[in-house]
């Protein structure tokens, strides 16, 4: 935990701001119009042109020409045709290709991390960290390629045995969100490929440059190894392309990362055609701090969990429950910690002095203002710190702390902005009940030194989330464990553990 907090509080890897032109050039992108469809080794695209906007300045970085429906059809037909060859390739050989992809990505990791900062808005260390997650899951997948084990089961029939074997699905579709424009695809594609599947990716329209840059890197690896580049196809586009993927029977598994509202529609549509879906949706994560906790540790962790990535992680801490006896001391220290970085360290994410970047778009600014107004409209709610949209062309806000009653309606719906709602509790069971009393169930954490509280928290009547932490923040999940949540978070699992089985039959 101390390492990641150290990154937030000032560790940077360069002393001068990178040049945008050099970043684009190294990743074989142009500041003009980039073709957004990779089909059968060709870069095409004759659909609508989307602008990629730098959220720190409001200026256009470059443009992407997206897919038409006919170009989408052409891409899927090619993927379907070539998928059989990859299925028949021995799994360890598939793992070797993923290892080579990892090496190719590593050689471009700095430029790719800087592009994430440019297009999404993460500070440089977070952009590089996201690329590292992709590299790590490639390492994991390479080892996994020799361990895709089934089992032999004793039979009740004499002279017989039963064999369980996992086989590839065929085609995996990935629809990723803006907040992790590289890593989410990496988690899905690395495992999908070693499992023997081909992958079709539709990145978020607002971070399509990241999708093109990654695909160009993977393209070279496939061609150099005499494999069809269609194994990693790309179709940039809007909701029309997303709908086409959702309804397409040729896509055996659709992995969707995004809002709960859209995820519900995706899940129903895929289920109606009896396809498989993997949903990573809302979070609305909570942290509980008991009176026996290490307060200084909790303060540092909550600062990182609440303001890191400007509140735009699915694992961002959005609700904080403080035991009444420590509430006054804790809030004093938390506000002091916020003042150390806000607003003096807010700004351009590629500026080495900046620790908190912009929100991703104008809609997020509107959400920030809407939630703060909801708190003000609640007679028992108050703004403790923040509540400021910063002037200029970028989408900058000051991370905000509120104080609201337990069960306040404003805490039920997740807003993807850096607003932390604080509440007071008397008994642990109240805090656990309130942690669980929302529709989402991704990540949760408790800070305590009491073993009884710890085991209650992680037990069957404790947190109902997919990720349950103790004395660390809600964010910072590792690729070795299965990532995902319960309830309206979607129930999907990505990355480690047994999540690979979702990509097979």
Q: What is the model's pLDDT at position 1? A: 28
> Would you kindly state where each structural domain of the chain is located, as residue ranges?
20-152+164-280, 285-478
Q: What is the rounded distance in angstroms from the CA atom of residue 201 to the CA atom of residue 176? A: 8
Q: Is the pLDDT of residue 231 over 90?
A: yes
What angle separates helix 239-247 from helix 69-88, to the nearest 10 degrees?
Answer: 50
Quick one: fold of 20-152+164-280? Aldehyde Dehydrogenase; Chain A, domain 1 (3.40.605)
What three-state secondary structure class fits 379?
Answer: coil
| CA 279/CA 343 separation, integer angstroms | 35
Catalogue the E-assigned strands of 244-358. 253-257, 276-280, 285-289, 317-323
Q: Which of 138, 210, 314, 465 is catalytic?
A: 314
DSSP assigned state of 168? B
Give residue-wise pLDDT tens across range 137-195: 999 999 999 999 999 999 999 999 999 999 999 999 999 999 999 999 999 999 999 99
Active site residue 314: yes
How far apart, in whole angstroms, are the C-alpha atoms of residue 449 and residue 402?
A: 26
pLDDT band at 134 (very low <50, low <70, confident <90, very high): very high
Active-site pick, 133, 280, 434, 494: 280
pLDDT digits (tens, 9 = 90+) for 271-291: 999 999 999 999 999 999 999
Q: List, for residues 448-479, the tens digit of each pLDDT value.
A: 999 999 999 999 999 999 999 999 999 978 99
CATH entry, 285-478, from 3.30.479.30, 3.20.20.140, 2.40.30.260, 3.40.309.10? 3.40.309.10
- 124 among known catalytic residues: no
């Amino acid at each position: 935990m101390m390492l990641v907090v150290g990154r937030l509080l000032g560790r940077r890897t360069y002393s001068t701001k990178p040049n945008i032109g050099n970043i684009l050039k190294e990743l074989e992108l142009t500041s003009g119009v980039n073709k957004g469809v990779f089909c059968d080794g060709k870069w095409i695209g004759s659909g609508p042109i989307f602008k990629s906007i730098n959220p720190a300045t409001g200026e256009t970085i470059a443009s992407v020409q997206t897919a038409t429906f006919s170009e989408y059809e052409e891409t899927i037909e090619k993927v379907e045709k070539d998928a059989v060859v990859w299925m028949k390739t021995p799994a360890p050989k598939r793992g070797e290709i993923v290892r080579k992809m990892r090496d190719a990505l590593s050689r471009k990791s700095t430029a790719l991390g800087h592009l994430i900062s440019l297009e999404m808005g993460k500070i440089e260390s977070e952009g590089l960290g996201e690329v590292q997650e992709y590299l790590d899951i490639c390492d994991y997948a390479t080892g996994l390629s020799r361990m895709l084990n089934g089992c032999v089961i004793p039979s009740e029939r004499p002279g017989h045995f039963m064999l369980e074997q996992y086989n590839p699905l065929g085609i995996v579709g990935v629809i990723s969100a803006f907040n992790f424009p590289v890593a989410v695809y990496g988690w899905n594609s690395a495992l999908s490929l070693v499992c023997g599947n081909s992958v079709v990716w539709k990145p978020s329209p607002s971070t399509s440059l990241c999708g093109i840059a990654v695909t160009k890197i993977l393209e070279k690896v496939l061609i150099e190894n005499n494999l069809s580049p269609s194994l990693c196809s790309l179709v940039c586009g809007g909701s029309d392309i997303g709908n086409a993927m959702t309804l397409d029977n040729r896509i055996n598994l659709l992995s969707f990362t995004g809002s709960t509202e859209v995820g519900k529609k995706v899940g129903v549509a895929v289920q109606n055609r009896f396809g498989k879906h993997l949903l990573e949706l809302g979070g609305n994560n909570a942290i509980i701090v008991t009176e026996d906790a290490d307060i200084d540790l909790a303060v540092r962790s909550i600062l990182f969990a609440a303001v890191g990535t400007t509140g735009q992680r699915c694992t961002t801490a959005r609700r904080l429950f403080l035991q009444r006896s420590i509430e006054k001391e804790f809030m004093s220290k938390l506000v002091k910690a916020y003042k150390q970085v806000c607003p003096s360290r807010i700004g351009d994410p590629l500026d080495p002095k900046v620790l908190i970047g912009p929100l991703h778009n104008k809609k997020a600014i509107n959400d920030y203002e809407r939630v703060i107004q909801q708190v003000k409209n609640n007679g028992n709610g108050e703004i403790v710190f923040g509540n400021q949209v910063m002037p200029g062309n970028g989408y900058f806000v000051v991370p905000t702390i509120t104080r609201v009653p337990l069960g306040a309606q404003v805490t039920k719906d997740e807003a993807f902005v850096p607003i932390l709602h604080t509440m007071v509790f008397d008994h642990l069971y109240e805090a656990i009940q309130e942690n669980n009393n929302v529709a989402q169930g991704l990540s949760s954490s408790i800070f305590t030194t009491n073993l009884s509280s710890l085991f209650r928290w992680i037990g069957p009547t404790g947190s109902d989330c997919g990720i349950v932490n103790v004395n660390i923040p809600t964010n910072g999940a590792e690729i070795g464990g299965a990532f995902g949540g319960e309830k309206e978070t979607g129930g999907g699992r990505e990355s480690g553990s047994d999540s690979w089985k979702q990509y097979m039959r």
